Amino acid sequence: MTISLDALVSLIGVGCYGALIVPTLLRRRITEKATLTLSFYLALGLIWSIGSAIIAMGLVAETGPRLFFDWLATIGRNAMPLVFGAVTLSFLGHKKMLYWYWGVGLLIFLLWGALSFNFYYLSDRLLAAWPLTANTHTQLTYLAIIAWGLATVTAVWALYWAFKKYPQAQYRNRFLYWFGGILILTLAGIIILLQIPHFQWPGTVINLFGAGFITYVVLSFHPPELKLVASRIIQAFIITLVLSLVMFGLLNTAYLINQWRLYPPNPLFWLIIMAAGSGFLLPYLVHLTEQLLNRFLIGQTDESAVLKAYSQDVNSDWDFTKLSRQALDFILKDMMVDSGVIFVDEGDGTGHVTLRPVAEIGMPQPGIGYFSGGDAWVTHLRQKQTPITQYDLDVLPQFREMDDTSKKWLAGLNADIFFPLILRRKQMVGVLVLGPKPGNKPYLPQDLARLQTLTSQIALDMDKARLFGQLGAVNQRLGELNSEFQTFDQGKTDFLSIASHELRTPLTHIHGYASMLIEASEEEMKDQAYLEYILNGIAKGSSRLKDVVDLVFDVSKADLGELEIIKTPVNLADVVDEATESQKAALEERGHRLIIAGLNRLPLVEGGAKRLVQAIGHLLNNAIKYTPDGGTITISGRTLTDDPENPKVEIIVTDTGIGVDPKDHLRIFQKFFRVGSVNNHSTSPVKFKGAGPGLGLSLVAGIAKAHGGEVWVESPEYNEETCPGSQFHLILPVKSPQTEKETPEPAVTTSANTRHWRSDDMKLIKEKVAAEEKKKKLE
């Protein structure tokens, strides 16, 4: 049986369209709309081919079935270009346009049906109105041309729009392919629709080729870079040309040799020599041409040269930040890219990824990125250890399920490509992010190879720098520990000397007076005044001894959190009164003026009255001791309602004394810490600068903590000449927390992270002082 060309082409069409539908349908579930529309498009091609094949092979003889298959083929053929417009729209993601387009397409289809079946004499009426439509067939052809034109215009418009919206190289590459598809299908459309005689079968073949081409573009997310393909073709062409020339030369030489009648005269001998020579030269020749072309046409990487340049440029002294910055700088210059970031993974060992930027150039404020270990992006970088582009994240199905915040964070970087920093082929230690290349050119395979080499080196260097940094940190910590240890050791020595002094002095007094009592004559024993003097001495000494021992005891209890406090509503004005009462003598002895302000307005505070008297007593006593004679000491108070749920009271003890150096603001609250040397030590609770055992402020801090409060000092400097003064702030919550555990740690804070000298406090104090002075003058 002979088979006509038309029939053969149609049969090939049936096979090819059928074969194209299969992979498209298999992909349908993952890539959605575009492939669904594409399947429809291919199905129309299949219908067209089946219809034409049956007719061309003469399988149906009767007119009825013939008409049916003819009709089927026409439907397929005419609807195909229309649906191609829809494929383009859905491929490029024009959702809204797509609905409109389907609507117009349906109208055209209905019109087509109405015309071909002459519904309501539509075809006849059109004939009468417009004689150019010579018959129904012509009408239908015109309609098909209109539909095809609409589809082509829509496709070109949509592509133009997409080109403007997506400047990224990979998108544009895919669009360029699509443009190629449009060109091929347009050519096929012109041939088929204009029914150019004798060209029907090539038209059908071209259409089939175009359909295959767009199917490939829809199904493959990474069609090879078109420009690269073009340069490869040129390359192949040039190699062929060069080799042909060489061969031509060789053959000619063989011919000439034959003519010159060289010895041996047998031309076969010379041909064999030539063949062997060209066989030997050929591989070298191919290699040489390829290399030359690579260098001039495509550009090539020389790994050792890159690494050499890198090691010359990046010279970091093992400073991690400097290294990252220099490495990034090098890469950006090397790639001629304007923006990039290096992130390090500060993963917590749970497999999650926390990316912290360590070097950034030209990228919009990259913050810290958090990713779960199962994140598709992270999994790709970790397992495949190959770069990934923003385009991949946008289009590849495996990234569709990615967490929205992660996607947004990545998109916010405006990056083009993400490179994992892999350490020793295993662990991902960070990510290199690069912005787009100038002119949105793509990262070519040779760029990627170059970057791969560089990133492995950078990962290694960064790891070394990190270890080096860690070593430095350990060293520094060791140094700190050493100095802490020395301080501690010094403290221990100081403690021994202070404690022995603190205990020995009153003991010596007691011992002295007791000896005097024992050695007293009978006469002296009868002298009431003498006896009183001795007993007073003993009482004073033992009371001082008791105070010191009590203080040590209290501080050690405060340390253990076992300070016993019986909490009742306390009036702080009374507390301050009681505390001042015991210091009256000292105040008088030193000639200090005491001003108390604003305490009566304070709310009752839930606390241990005795302990609070103790705390304020210590603060007052210190103010007395560290202020030169005739100073002014103020105790003021106010309510803090920053947190209305949890109001607090602040007591401020201000003096006009020698002040505290800011570097000691925290340390004076430590046990046994005193500013200056041990020699300043004095057992007197009154003497100027007469430092005690260095436990007073430690106990104040312990008491504040037990109340859920805090204490700190504010003072501009330590200066015995100018006497800048100090302010001790004691904060107590109005409602005490139930357990000590609820109390905020630590009780001692620095003024730096709390408040500073308050102008209103100072104003209040100055007013008070002025008022007192006025009163005195009047008296």
- Residue among 337, 660, 747, 764 that touches ligand ADP (CB under 6 A): 660
Instruction: Find the helix packing angle between 63-91 and 33-56, rounded to 10°.
Output: 160
Q: At what angle do helices 169-193 and 200-219 cross, to 10 degrees?
A: 160
CB-based contact 701:747 (threshold 8 Å): yes
Q: What residues from 415 to 444 belong to the interface with ligand ADP (CB under 6 A)?
A: none
Token duo for residue 412: 């916010």
Between 340 and 693, name the residue whose CB sits nearer to ligand ADP. 693
If you write DSSP's letter for every residue of 491-515 in order, what string do you get? HHHHHHHHHHHHHHHHHHHHHHHHH
| Contact present, 306 and 334 (Cβ < 8 Å) | yes
Tell the smallest beta-carbon distance from residue 680 to ligand ADP (Å): 8
C-alpha dihedral (426, 428, 433, 437), degrees to nearest 10: 10
Q: Applying CB under 6 A, which part among 40-48, 386-394, 578-586, 670-678 lies near ligand ADP? A: 670-678
Segment contacting ligand ADP by CB under 6 A, of 314-322, 335-343, 517-525, 690-698 = 690-698
Q: Under rule CB under 6 A, how many of the chain's residues touch ligand ADP?
A: 22
Give the Cβ contact number of residue 738 at 10 Å: 10
The whole-angstrom separation of Cα 649 and Cα 761 is 14
- Of 314 and 695, which has the nearer Cβ to ligand ADP? 695
**Sign of the dihedral defined by the CA atoms of residues 220, 225, 227, 232, in that order:** negative
Would you say 375 or 494 has its CB closer to ligand ADP? 494
Shorter beta-carbon distance to ligand ADP: residue 452 or 627: 627
Interface mask toward ligand ADP for 615-654; x: CB under 6 A: ---x---xx--x----------------------------
Token representation of residue 310: 């890198």
Beta strands in 416-475 (DSSP E): 417-423, 427-434
Asked if 171 and 162 count as a contact pair (C-beta separation under 8 A), the reply is: yes
Between 357 and 694, CB nearer to ligand ADP? 694
Q: Please identify, among the stretches 24-32, 33-41, 260-268, 695-703, the one whose residues bind ligand ADP according to the rule CB under 6 A.
A: 695-703
Minimum distance of ligand ADP from residue 601's CB (angstroms): 25
Task: State which of residues 611, 674, 705, 729 lies at the interface with ligand ADP (CB under 6 A).
Answer: 674
What's the CA gap between 649 and 643, in Å, rounded? Answer: 12
How far apart CA 85 and CA 78 sit, in angstroms, is 13
Name the residue nearer to ligand ADP (CB basis): 462 or 635.
635
Q: Out of 49, 455, 698, 749, which residue is the one contacting ligand ADP (CB under 6 A)?
A: 698
Instruction: Tokens for 592, please give them.
Output: 């200090």
- Piece of the chain touching ligand ADP by CB under 6 A; list 309-317, 355-363, 587-595, 693-701: 693-701
Residue 84 lies near ligand ADP (rule: CB under 6 A): no
Helix (H) or strand (E) holding 360: strand 353-361
Nearer residue to ligand ADP within complex by CB, 363 or 691? 691
Q: How far is CA 217 from each of CA 16, 115, 163, 179, 568, rounded to the nearest angstrom?
A: 16, 36, 16, 11, 82
Smallest distance from ligand ADP to CB 537, Å = 23
- Shortest reach from residue 773's CB to ligand ADP, in Å: 23
| Residue 657 binds ligand ADP, judged by CB under 6 A | yes
Compute the least distance from the CB of residue 424 to ligand ADP, in Å. 55
User: What string marks each residue from 14 to 53 as x (binds ligand ADP by CB under 6 A) or -?
Assistant: ----------------------------------------
CA separation, residue 100 to residues 23, 106, 109, 228 (Å):
28, 10, 14, 37
How far is it, in rounded angstroms, from Cα 216 to Cα 226? 14
Nearer to ligand ADP, 324 or 634 (CB): 634
Pick 431 or 675: Cβ nearer ligand ADP: 675
Contacts of 329 (CB under 8 A, 6+ apart): 313, 361
Nearer to ligand ADP, 442 or 696 (CB): 696
Q: For the chain, count helices (H), then strands (E).
A: 22, 13
Q: Classify residue 366 by its DSSP letter.
A: -
User: Which of 608, 696, 702, 708 is close enough to bind ligand ADP by CB under 6 A?
Assistant: 696
Pattern 703-742, ligand ADP, x by CB under 6 A: -----------------------x----------------
Task: Give the binding range for ligand ADP (CB under 6 A) out of 136-144, 218-226, 637-645, 689-697.
Answer: 689-697
Q: Which residue's CB is nearer to ligand ADP, number 31 or number 749?
A: 749
CB of 681 to ligand ADP, least distance (A): 8
Among 557, 301, 554, which Cα is nearest to 446's?
301
- The CB-of-561 to ligand ADP minimum distance in angstroms stands at 19
Q: Please give the biggest Cα pair distance in the chain.
A: 162
CA 81/CA 185 separation, integer angstroms: 8
Rounded distance between C-alpha atoms, residue 211 and residue 83, angstroms: 12
Pick between residue 599 and residue 699 the one whose CB is nearest to ligand ADP.
Answer: 699
The contact set with ligand ADP (CB under 6 A) reads: 618, 622-623, 626, 655, 657-660, 668, 673-675, 691-698, 726
